[in-house]
């Protein structure tokens, strides 16, 4: 089957070794960040924050998250061009949603007269909330939509990437406490360009479950 979307998805893979000398151009990074911003989320909640680590100094701050427990991710952190931390708000509350509603009014999507009505959608955040106001399972899921969007955007840009759940979240929360604020890191994404010789994963064939094992198609 041939299609440009499938070519993108066949092209991409999880890069294990980067060419340290190649940086992602600012224009391409801007496209990626705009794609992240445009990601879909339940009730348009956008309960996320993305911390972009660009300089060697900034990326070195992530060493605490990989050096001990997840050394296999260390090369991606140190030799990639950028690392992006995907963070979610674990207690997404009505005031946070007010920013979305008021943004919708400013953008002409919601009528000012219907402001209160627009808060009706917030019941989805409440349905996923426990008695302490924690709706982190729901907000965390939204950040993975942005992650999926990023992976395809990067493939289209022919920029390599490494998704990393193998990071010490507690260490990240401490090291990036100021930048994360109320947000909690879910996953990190290294981006850059594969090492032409050292990335063994680049030449392995893609392997996925068979269509008949995953699709139930009612026609
Ligand atoms: C949520 C998530 C977490 C992952 N964490 C890691 C990780 O910590 N380190 C790593 O090298 N690969 C990680 N991967 C990469 C997966 O192992 C990889 O996507 C999968 O084996 C499919 O291979 P492909 O991405 O090369 O097509 C992660 C992928 C996802 C989607």
From residue 185, alpha-carbon distances to 4, 122, 212 in Å are 32, 23, 35
Rg value, the chain, Cα: 19
Q: Which atom of ligand 1 is nearest to the CA of 201?
A: 26
Does the reported pTM lie above 0.95?
A: yes
- By DSSP bridging, strand 184-192 and strand 160-164 are antiparallel
How many whole angstroms from 161 Cα to the centroid of ligand 1? 10
Superfamily assignment of 4-214 in CATH?
NADH Oxidase (3.40.109.10)
Q: State pLDDT tens for residues 91-135.
A: 999 999 999 999 999 999 999 999 999 999 999 999 999 999 999
Ligand 1: list residues with CB < 6 Å: 13-14, 73, 162-166, 187, 206
Residue ranges of domains in the chain: 4-214
Substitution site in 165, 199, 202, 208 for ligand 1 pocket (most atoms within 8 Å of beta carbon): 165
Percent of all residues in the chain with a pLDDT value above 70, rounded to a whole number: 100
Q: 145 C-alpha vs ligand 1 centroid, how far in Å?
A: 15
38 Cβ contact partners less than 8 Å away, ≥ 6 residues apart: 149
The pLDDT tens digits of the residues spanning 65-86 come to 999 999 999 999 999 999 999 9
Instruction: Give per-residue pLDDT as tens, 21-77.
Output: 999 999 999 999 999 999 999 999 999 999 999 999 999 999 999 999 999 999 999
CA 14–ligand 1 middle distance (angstroms): 6
Residues 45 and 98: their CA atoms lie apart, in Å, by 10
């Amino acid at each position: 089957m041939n299609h440009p979307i499938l070519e993108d998805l066949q092209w991409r893979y999880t890069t294990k070794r980067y060419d340290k000398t190649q940086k992602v151009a600012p224009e391409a990074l801007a496209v990626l960040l705009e794609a992240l911003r445009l990601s879909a989320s339940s009730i348009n909640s956008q309960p996320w924050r993305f911390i972009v680590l660009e300089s060697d100094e900034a990326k070195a701050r992530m060493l605490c998250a990989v050096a001990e427990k997840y050394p296999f991710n260390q090369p991606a952190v140190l030799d990639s061009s950028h690392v992006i931390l995907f963070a979610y708000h674990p207690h997404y509350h009505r005031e946070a949603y007010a920013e979305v509603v008021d943004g919708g009014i400013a953008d002409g999507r919601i009528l000012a007269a219907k402001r209160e009505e627009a808060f009706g959608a917030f019941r989805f955040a409440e349905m996923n909330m426990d008695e302490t106001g924690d709706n982190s399972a729901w907000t965390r899921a939204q950040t993975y939509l942005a992650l999926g969007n990023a992976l395809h955007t990067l493939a289209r840009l022919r920029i390599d990437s490494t998704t990393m759940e193998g990071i010490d979240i507690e260490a990240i929360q401490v090291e990036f406490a100021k930048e994360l604020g109320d947000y909690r890191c879910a996953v990190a994404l290294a981006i850059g360009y594969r090492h032409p010789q050292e990335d063994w994963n680049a030449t392995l064939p893609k392997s996925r479950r068979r269509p008949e094992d995953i699709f139930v198609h009612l026609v």
